Amino acid sequence: GPPQVRRNLLNIIAVVRLGGGDVDPNTRASWAFVDALGQASEQGIGARVAHVLLPDDSEVEVGDAQNANHASAANTRQTDPSLPPGVSIATAMARAHAVLARRFGGRYAMLFLKDANEARPVQREAGNPFAPPLRSGAPRWSDCERAFAKAHKRGFRARAKYEFKKKTGKDKKHAPNVDDDAVAKDLAVTLGDIADLTASSSAAKYVTDATSFLERRGVEGPAGLVNGLYFTAQHAQAMGADLTSLAFHYAQRELAAAARAVFSGELTDELADADPRGAYGWAHRNAVTKRSAFLEKSRDT
C-alpha cells in the first residue's frame, strides 16, 4: 500500500445536503462527492476528510407553535415512513451526523455516514458483472438508524473510557465495561431527540449552529474546501466539471505545490514545527486570500 503520511498536507471538507431521489442536481452532486471521498479513503489516499451535512432547505425551522402547525405542509419531500411528518431524510441524517460529531468526535460521525452511504440502493450495469456498483437515491431511515446505533455504541463506550482516564488518571484499559442497558437507553433518547420537531431538540440546535457558522463565512452547499480553497457545485458547472472532479483537481494542485515546496526547501519539518498549527498551518497558508471565506476548524461546529 501507499507509505504512511507523517504530516497531513491535504484537508478536504465536504458541505453536502443528502436528500432522497436523484431529480435534484445538488442532491446528486452531494451523494457523488460523499461516495468519491469514501472510495478515496478506502484506497489509502492521505487526506483528512470532514463532512458538514445540511438539513433540507425546504423545511421550516420549528421553534414555536405557529411554525409547528405549518411544518408538515412545507415538507412535501418527506417520504420515509420511519420518520415523523416534518423531518426529511436529509435533515434526519444531518442531525444524526451532528450529534455523533459533537458528542463523540468526527471518527464516529464518519463511521455513521460511511455505513449509511453503503445502505443506499445499488444498481449494476447490465451485461457487465465486473462494473462497480452504482448507488442512487438516499438510504432508508431504518438503515440509517442501524448505522447510527453502531457508531453510537462505539462512540459511547470510547467516551466512557476517556472520561474514566480523565477522572482517575489510569489507563483506559482499566475502565469498567459500559452496561449495555445504559448504551441502549442513551440510544433511544438520542434517536428521539433527532426526530423531535420542537425547539428543545439538541440535535436540531447542533445543525443550526453548524449551518449558521457556514453562512457567516459565506459558505453555501453543496460545496467543498480543499486546504481552505472554497468552491461550489455552481463553480464546477461553470468550469464544465462536477463537484467531485473539481475537488480532486484542487487536491492534486495542492499536493504538487507541497512537493515543490519540499524540493525547494520552502517546506521542511523545522518550518512546519515553527508554525503554531504545524503542517496544517502551512497547508492553509493562503486560505484567507482564496476564492471565498476560509472555513477553519471551530469548536462551535
pLDDT tens for the chain, 301 residues: list them: 344 445 567 889 999 999 876 678 888 899 999 999 988 888 877 788 999 999 986 554 444 333 444 443 344 454 688 888 888 999 999 999 999 999 999 999 999 999 999 999 887 777 777 777 788 888 999 999 999 999 999 999 999 998 888 888 888 887 888 888 999 999 999 999 999 988 789 999 999 999 999 888 888 889 999 888 889 998 898 899 999 999 999 888 888 887 787 777 776 767 666 655 556 666 666 654 444 333 333 333 3
- Three-state secondary structure readout of 230-276: EEEHHHHHHCCCCHHHHHHHHHHHHHHHHHHHHHHCCCCHHHHHHCC
Residue 166 to residue 161: CA distance in whole angstroms:
9
Q: Is the pTM of this model over 0.85?
A: no
Residue whose C-alpha cell reads 498551518 in the numeric block = 281
Residue range 92-109, pLDDT digits in tens: 999 999 999 999 999 999
